[in-house]
Chains A and B, each alone.
Chain A
Amino acid sequence: MYVATKGGERAIDAAHDWLAEERRGDPAVPELTIAQIREQMRLAVNRVMAEGSLYDPDLAALAIKQARGDLIEAIFLVRAYRTTLPRFGSSHPVETCDMAITRRISATFKDVPGGQVLGPTFDYTHRLLDFKLMADGEAPTAARKPADPEPAPHILALLDRDGLMEPLAHDGATPRDLTREPLELPADRPLRLQALTRGDEGFLLSLAYSTQRGYGRTHAFVGELRIGTCAVEMEIPELGFAVEIGEIELTECETVNQFTGSKTEPPQFTRGYGLVMGQSERKAISMSLVERALRWEELGEENTGAPAQDTEFVLYHSDNIQATGFLEHIKLPHYVDFQSELELIRKLRRAVAPERLEAAE
């Protein structure tokens, strides 16, 4: 006698309890604190903030803890939280030229006003496992020097002054807001940049890499990569002027791209732009390469059919929360549709002559 499967609710509750237990791991091992994650897993925190589109290191650290270190799951938690927050207004655009710099490099000029600052980077480390960290994670104190009073203007602005850079188009219009309006095509540059900055790091890395290997090649030089903190200012209607409401860490990458001109544009350097919350260097560089590749149409370049040139393809597939949800939804029951397919296959097979079925078997 068949008894209908009941107890979906009990199964869910039990699964949640089990999950919580697994997250905690061996209770004999001390529990991670949010502060530990925030301070010692900072790059993971940065990625969760960047792709979660919410600058809050503590909440990002909490999400990482709750997600057992699954960063896409953590990003999802942050996004779902972010969407419930009321919006009080928008800040002024951040002035990245006034950034308090912790790292600044240029691959195009050896020396630049404001200097190159290597900063805390993996770049020239030898990738050898440091077994000392297994026993003792204490770090030596790094040498310090006073902050450089010399301003560090954007390097592309210097090229700009010489008229070698494409002029920046600025129509003063308020960009569309991807978090408030559906993505609709054609997508202009501000919309593309919004989508890319919250896009999946791995996806953008692969696309950027594909442009370097010839699928939509853009001949990019890193004109400048800078990391540091910027003040966020907001106009308070009651006050009538802008006040600083906090500061955020940003990574900005501007590429200089060779460009020999097209039927609409003279030969000049063009730019690709990447701006990402936190120290997210790989993502910022990837973003600037993909961003530049997507600009082929406005620059009158040839569409070579490369994936990185296809705005619809890139924008519709860069969001890892959309992607992972849809991918994983195929775990849900599809009994009804499958039953339909079963009936159809049986019907089609009945229509086929029996000898053909035998021959196939």
Chain B
Amino acid sequence: MTAHDPHIGAMTAAIDMPLLSVGGLTKTYGSGRGCANVSFDLWPGEVLGIVGESGSGKSTLLGCLAGHIRPDAGRVVYDLDGHARDTVSMAEPDRRRLSRTEWTFVHQNPRDGLRMGVSAGGNVGERLMAVGARNYGAIRETATDWLERVEIAADRIDDRPRAFSGGMQQRLQIARNLVTGPRLVFMDEPTGGLDVSVQARLLDLLRGLVRDMGLSVIIVTHDLAVVRLLADRLMVMKDGRVIEEGLTDQVLDDPQAAYTQLLVSSVLQV
């Protein structure tokens, strides 16, 4: 296993090289759904929001980017220590290693991203152990530290996530994902299914972590309030295609496409 310190990696990467460079990414299903010919670059430390209604292809796109879905065509080139690696054509073991070390995925439903039968400490520790941590005391210390960073009391370390509220479960999932210091985070509707007040607290926490850790993030959501708060840049999807993109404020304040205007106006009415 190649141990990789993400911070060193970030420093040595050439500054004129995007962290992720996506070209012509296409995945279609028989029914016509999917995503078609998506291209974009993601720069280190950048947060990209992908918005659209359900069925717009944004989840398919995220799945293809994260290596969960095999695309029909296109490339997803990742900057691994200054080496451009196409993760689509990469061998499965390499891709899985990448998703244990460099990447991470925050699911909408914490049940999909947590082991519900394993204690909070075990959940956070799993990624550490997966990359070779073998000191129980150190693992526990790191887990405790991370629980506190996501505002979960340290004395809940041996409780199972079942006993946690929805917001706590989601924060635990975030701790579990960030504990190994990844560089790129995929998020699929991370605030979906949470109460508004809980959402606000989570968003606040996420914003702080992204800033402190210098994370690059691709976040998929239908909630424009989420991207307004988190995303530097925005892509709007409809029927599997990117119909508009630009800086977040620019897209939200001065939408060009008719569909985007509709999206923005409907959120304002809420």
Q: Does A touch B (CB under 8 Å) in the complex?
A: yes
A170 located at the interface, meaning its Cβ lies under 8 Å from any Cβ of chain B in the complex: no
A175 located at the interface, meaning its Cβ lies under 8 Å from any Cβ of chain B in the complex: no
Tell me how far the C-beta of A290 lies from the nearest C-beta in chain B, rounded to whole angstroms: 27
A161 located at the interface, meaning its Cβ lies under 8 Å from any Cβ of chain B in the complex: no
Tell me how far the C-beta of B59 lies from the nearest C-beta in chain A, rounded to whole angstroms: 16
Which chain A residues in 134-172 approach chain B with CB under 8 Å? none
Name the A residues within 8 Å of B31 (CB-CB).
Answer: 263
A300 located at the interface, meaning its Cβ lies under 8 Å from any Cβ of chain B in the complex: yes
User: Is chain B's interface secondary structure helix, strand, loop, or mixed overall?
Assistant: loop
How many chain A residues have a CB neighbour from B under 8 Å?
Answer: 4
B30 located at the interface, meaning its Cβ lies under 8 Å from any Cβ of chain A in the complex: yes
Name the A residues within 8 Å of B30 (CB-CB).
Answer: 262-264, 300
Q: Tell me the bound Cα distance from A254 to B29 in angstroms.
A: 31
Which chain A residues in 250-270 approach chain B with CB under 8 Å? 262-264
Tell me how far the C-beta of A179 lies from the nearest C-beta in chain B, rounded to whole angstroms: 32
Closest to A262 in B: B30
Which chain B residues in 38-89 approach chain A with CB under 8 Å? none
Q: Tell me the bound Cα distance from A103 to B152 in angstroms.
A: 69
Name the B residues within 8 Å of A300 (CB-CB).
Answer: 30
Name the A residues within 8 Å of B29 (CB-CB).
Answer: 263
Name the B residues within 8 Å of A262 (CB-CB).
Answer: 30
Name the B residues within 8 Å of A263 (CB-CB).
Answer: 29-31
Closest to B31 in A: A263
Which chain B residues in 1-56 approach chain A with CB under 8 Å? 29-31
| Bitwise interface map of A from 258 to 302 toward B, beta carbon under 8 Å scored 1, else 0 | 000011100000000000000000000000000000000000100
Q: Tell me the bound Cα distance from A127 to B31 in angstroms.
A: 52
Closest to B30 in A: A263
Closest to B32 in A: A263
Q: Tell me the bound Cα distance from A62 to B108 in angstroms.
A: 61
| Bitwise interface map of B from 141 to 185 toward A, beta carbon under 8 Å scored 1, else 0 | 000000000000000000000000000000000000000000000
Closest to B33 in A: A263
Q: Tell me the bound Cα distance from A150 to B207 in angstroms.
A: 79
Q: Tell me the bound Cα distance from A263 to B29 in angstroms.
A: 7
Q: Tell me the bound Cα distance from A263 to B31 in angstroms.
A: 5
Name the B residues within 8 Å of A264 (CB-CB).
Answer: 30
Closest to A265 in B: B30
Q: Tell me the bound Cα distance from A264 to B31 in angstroms.
A: 8
Q: Tell me the bound Cα distance from A262 to B29 in angstroms.
A: 11
Q: Tell me the bound Cα distance from A263 to B32 in angstroms.
A: 9
Tell me how far the C-beta of B254 lies from the nearest C-beta in chain A, rounded to whole angstroms: 38
Tell me how far the C-beta of B228 lies from the nearest C-beta in chain A, rounded to whole angstroms: 35
Q: Tell me the bound Cα distance from A110 to B82 in angstroms.
A: 73
Tell me how far the C-beta of A32 lies from the nearest C-beta in chain B, rounded to whole angstroms: 53
Q: Tell me the bound Cα distance from A262 to B31 in angstroms.
A: 8
Tell me how far the C-beta of A358 lies from the nearest C-beta in chain B, rounded to whole angstroms: 24
Q: Tell me the bound Cα distance from A263 to B30 in angstroms.
A: 5
Q: Tell me the bound Cα distance from A300 to B30 in angstroms.
A: 10
Tell me how far the C-beta of A334 lies from the nearest C-beta in chain B, rounded to whole angstroms: 26
Closest to A300 in B: B30
| Bitwise interface map of A from 294 to 316 toward B, beta carbon under 8 Å scored 1, else 0 | 00000010000000000000000
Tell me how far the C-beta of B224 lies from the nearest C-beta in chain A, rounded to whole angstroms: 30
Closest to A263 in B: B30
Which chain A residues in 305-353 approach chain B with CB under 8 Å? none
Q: Tell me the bound Cα distance from A264 to B30 in angstroms.
A: 6
Closest 6 CB pairs of A and B: A263-B30, A263-B31, A264-B30, A263-B29, A300-B30, A262-B30
Some 6 contacts from A to B, beta carbons below 8 A apart, are: A262-B30, A263-B29, A263-B30, A263-B31, A264-B30, A300-B30
Spell out A's residues near B (CB within 8 Å).
262-264, 300
